[in-house]
């Protein structure tokens, strides 16, 4: 009987579109918001906390000459807690009063001895004078500010300066500050201990050597009435200013003329010594993003992905160094390229391994390590000696901090401090390699398990227990192979007519099992109730897609993710053909066989690009790639001719 024509399409099974309950809805919201929440609170705690009010901690200062280290330590404790009030107007030589910001005069009292000295970064930074306050008049200064009058005149002029001459954490009004007014250092200790570690040395030469060997951040040498403060601008401007401010008060208290000498200045193109951080920042963020992207890529094998990481690290290290050198922010020592490469590989391999091993939670852990913890503890934007103790503990173990230490040592200190950075970076690379190896041997995160096989007619389980197989890297794994039920377990009604074939189709193209006629082999049959006896005919392949049978196919009310039919060149079904499914990394996920009518179905597969292999005794094997998604099933049919016919067609 002739084919009556296309059958009317039906809707997809309602069970796939059921409304989510409150728990499922909450989980869906959490799944899309937990990383933004992690970043929000992480930035507040890990960036605002260490950066909003940096203060020196354990800065090493070598001291030489006829000075008492204990007295200097006590003076520094008081000095570090003193309030520095910027002046709102310039001060002329011979003046007997100064203007300070409104309400700042409340911090002082008549009869108090104060110090007046120039701001760091100005021509007056080495000038200082001790003065006694005679009176304080609120609101009588220029612009309604407070006026402080001294018992004696100012011995030097202090001019107004720009905002670059005053650090943001020590000045209340950096745009108009001309000098600093600070309480006397002879008061009671404030308890601000731990800001400086004073280390006595033999002489001037040893003091300078401590700075150039990175054993100390500064050195203070007294010779007669002259005090010399040796600093290293390459250690960072905040450290240098903190030392200058503190020891200017010590020199003033001892009535010494202080001279500041920068033994290790930064390159002219990077006066703040932060250029290394911005280069290192790129070598930290780029591998993080690259690894997150590669871990989700399904069109590259694992070896290819690791090759991309290596090649990208080599390119980024060389290109970044050349750009930094061209911009004048780093000197020309090319050894830094090696450490940039080590850091790139360390971050990329650890991130890649975490994501492949732990899925989205590995992504979160990588963000915590390399974005929220590594940057604040690196010593780049703010020297690590000026952040809270937690981040100072992290500095010697995180890769970014060790990269910056190595680069600073190579660029400015003749490589005196590269042993620890080398060992730490290599250790991170080893940890990353271990994670990558573990991710290849252990089950992939979120990989769905195949549904339990339906019992066969004899009460058996219809299939074998899951077996081990070969992993994508050629090693045996416990998770590689899942056996689907043998053909009798695929509970497909014998009457079900296979639909026309297509790779993927929307639900609107799905059609119910036969209520009309389909040609079979060499004969026809009249429209019936959807049943047909097994025969020797073949069903043609068409252009539509629907799940086999009544939409269940042995997997409950849900259609399988992948299904299809295997036929010979004449369209006759091939039973017991072997079906093997392999993921993008080469891991064998599933083995099954076709049933009597040459049909197969598979579920419990991961989304993405998979390879389907089909073979049968005496026939040409076939293979193709299929992209699976969770919302639509995919149909993939195969035609495998016999060996003689297949070889002849290829030779033709």
Residue 85 has pLDDT above 80, yes or no: no
Which of 129, 107, 108 lies closest to 118, judged by CA? 129
pLDDT of residue 566: 95
pLDDT in tens, 272-302: 888 889 999 999 999 999 999 998 887 788 8
Given a contact cutoff of 8 angstroms between Cβ atoms, the answer to whether 633 and 606 are in contact is no
pLDDT of residue 432: 96
Which of 267, 394, 421 lies closest to 336, judged by CA? 421
pLDDT in tens, 231-243: 999 998 888 888 8
* Rounded distance between C-alpha atoms, residue 270 and residue 404, angstroms: 15
* Rounded distance between C-alpha atoms, residue 394 and residue 417, angstroms: 17
pLDDT of residue 370: 95
Instruction: Dig out the tokens for 474 from the structure.
Output: 């050629």
Share the mean pLDDT of the chain: 74
* Rounded distance between C-alpha atoms, residue 333 and residue 271, angstroms: 18
Domain 467-651, CATH class in plain words? mainly beta
Q: What angle do CA 392, 261, 264 make, to 5 degrees?
A: 55
Q: 484 Cβ partners below 8 Å, 6+ apart?
A: 450, 453, 463, 590, 591, 592, 601, 602
Residue 50 has pLDDT above 90, yes or no: no
Per-residue pLDDT, averaged over 67-79, amounts to: 62
Q: In degrees to the nearest 10, what's the CA dihedral of 188, 193, 197, 203?
A: 0
pLDDT of residue 594: 94
pLDDT in tens, 492-506: 444 333 443 333 333
Residue 307: φ, ψ to 5°: -65, -40
Eight-class DSSP state of 90: -
Per-residue pLDDT, averaged over 126-149, amounts to: 72
pLDDT of residue 444: 61
Confidence of residue 456 (pLDDT cuts 50, 70, 90): very low
pLDDT of residue 426: 97
List 599's β-bridge partners, or say none: 565
Per-residue pLDDT, averaged over 29-55, amounts to: 88
Residue 321 has pLDDT above 60, yes or no: yes
* Rounded distance between C-alpha atoms, residue 210 and residue 221, angstroms: 12
Percent of the chain whose predicted confidence (pLDDT) is above 70: 63
pLDDT in tens, 376-400: 999 988 899 889 989 999 999 999 9
pLDDT of residue 103: 59
Q: Note the CATH architecture for domain 84-184.
A: Beta Barrel (2.40)
Which of 546, 535, 536, 565 lies closest to 499, judged by CA? 546
For the ranges 79-93, 231-245, 480-494, 497-511, the one whose mean pLDDT is highest: 231-245
Could you give the residue ranges of the DSSP H alpha helices within 10-92?
22-43, 49-51, 69-81
Instruction: Dig out the tokens for 509 from the structure.
Output: 């193209």
pLDDT in tens, 566-585: 999 888 999 999 999 998 88
pLDDT of residue 645: 73
pLDDT in tens, 345-378: 999 999 999 999 988 899 999 999 999 999 999 9
Confidence of residue 558 (pLDDT cuts 50, 70, 90): low
More confident of the two residues 280 and 114:
280
Global pTM value:
0.56
pLDDT of residue 119: 59
Residue 602 has pLDDT above 50, yes or no: yes
pLDDT of residue 164: 31
pLDDT of residue 154: 74
pLDDT of residue 633: 85
54-82+186-265: CATH topology: D-Maltodextrin-Binding Protein; domain 2 (3.40.190)
* Rounded distance between C-alpha atoms, residue 207 and residue 215, angstroms: 10
Residue extents of the structural domains in the chain? 54-82+186-265, 84-184, 275-441, 467-651
List 220's β-bridge partners, or say none: 63, 229
Q: Determine whether 605 is exposed, middle or buried from the number of CB atoms within 10 Å of its CB (0-12, 13-18, 19+).
A: buried
pLDDT in tens, 411-432: 999 988 899 999 999 999 999 9
Which of 211, 258, 269, 280 lies closest to 239, judged by CA? 211
């Amino acid at each position: 009987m002739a084919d009556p024509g296309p059958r009317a399409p039906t809707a997809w099974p309602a069970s796939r579109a059921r409304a989510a309950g409150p728990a499922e809805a909450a989980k869906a919201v959490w799944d899309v918001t937990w990383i933004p929440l992690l970043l929000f609170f992480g930035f507040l705690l890990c960036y605002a906390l260490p950066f909003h009010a940096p203060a020196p901690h354990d800065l090493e200062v070598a001291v030489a000459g006829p000075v008492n280290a204990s007295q200097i330590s006590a003076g520094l404790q008081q000095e570090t807690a003193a309030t520095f009030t910027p002046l709102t107007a310039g001060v002329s030589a011979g003046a007997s009063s100064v203007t300070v910001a409104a309400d700042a005069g409340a911090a002082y009292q008549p009869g108090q001895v104060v110090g007046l000295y120039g701001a760091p970064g100005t021509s007056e930074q080495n000038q200082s004078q001790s003065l006694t306050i005679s009176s304080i008049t609120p609101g009588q200064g220029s612009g309604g500010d407070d006026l402080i009058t001294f018992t004696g005149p100012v011995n030097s002029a202090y001019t107004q300066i720009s905002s670059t001459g005053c650090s943001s954490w020590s000045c209340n009004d950096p745009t108009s500050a001309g000098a600093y007014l600070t309480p006397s250092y002879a008061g009671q200790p404030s308890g601000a201990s731990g800001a400086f570690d004073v280390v006595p040395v033999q002489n001037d030469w040893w003091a300078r050597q401590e700075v150039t060997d990175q054993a100390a951040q500064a050195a203070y040498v007294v010779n007669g009435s002259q005090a010399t403060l040796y600093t290293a601008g390459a250690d960072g401007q905040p450290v240098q200013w903190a030392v200058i401010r503190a020891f200017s008060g010590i020199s003033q208290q001892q009535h010494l003329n202080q001279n500041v000498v920068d033994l290790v200045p930064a390159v002219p193109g990077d006066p703040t010594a932060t250029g290394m951080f911005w280069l290192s920042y790129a070598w930290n963020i780029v591998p993080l993003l690259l690894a997150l992207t590669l871990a989700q890529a399904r069109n590259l094998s694992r070896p290819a992905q690791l090759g991309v990481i290596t090649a990208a690290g080599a390119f980024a290290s060389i290109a970044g160094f050349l750009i930094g050198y061209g911009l004048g922010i780093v000197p020309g020592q090319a050894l830094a390229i090696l450490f940039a490469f080590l850091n790139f590989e360390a971050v990329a391999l650890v991130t890649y391994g975490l994501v492949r091993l732990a899925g989205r939670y590995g992504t979160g852990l990588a963000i915590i390590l390399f974005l929220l913890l590594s940057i604040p503890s690196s010593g780049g934007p703010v020297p690590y000696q000026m952040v809270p103790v937690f981040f100072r503990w992290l500095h010697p173990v995180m890769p970014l901090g060790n990269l910056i230490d190595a680069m600073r040592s190579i660029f400015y200190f003749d490589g005196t401090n590269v042993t620890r950075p080398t060992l730490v970076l290599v250790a991170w690379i080893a940890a990353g390699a271990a994670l990558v190896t573990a991710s290849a041997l252990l089950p992939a995160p979120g990989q769905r398990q195949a549904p339990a096989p339906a019992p066969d007619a004899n009460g058996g389980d219809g299939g074998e227990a899951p077996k081990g197989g070969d992993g994508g890297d050629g090693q045996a794994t416990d998770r590689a192979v899942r056996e689907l039920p043998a053909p009798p377990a695929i509970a497909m009604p014998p009457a079900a007519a296979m639909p026309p074939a297509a790779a993927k189709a929307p639900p609107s193209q799905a059609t119910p099992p036969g209520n009309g006629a389909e040609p079979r082999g060499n004969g026809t049959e009249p429209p019936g109730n959807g049943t047909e006896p097994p025969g020797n005919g073949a069903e043609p392949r068409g252009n539509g897609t629907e799940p086999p049978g009544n939409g269940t196919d042995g997997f409950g009310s849900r259609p399988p993710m992948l299904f299809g039919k295997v036929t010979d060149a004449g369209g006759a079904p091939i039973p017991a053909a072997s079906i093997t499914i392999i993921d993008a990394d080469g891991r064998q996920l599933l083995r099954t066989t076709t049933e009597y009518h040459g049909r197969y179905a598979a579920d419990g597969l991961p989304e993405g690009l998979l390879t389907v292999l089909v073979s049968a005794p005496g026939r040409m094997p076939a293979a193709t790639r299929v992209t699976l998604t969770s919302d639509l099933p995919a149909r993939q049919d195969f035609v495998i001719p016999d060996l003689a016919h297949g070889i002849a067609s290829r030779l033709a």
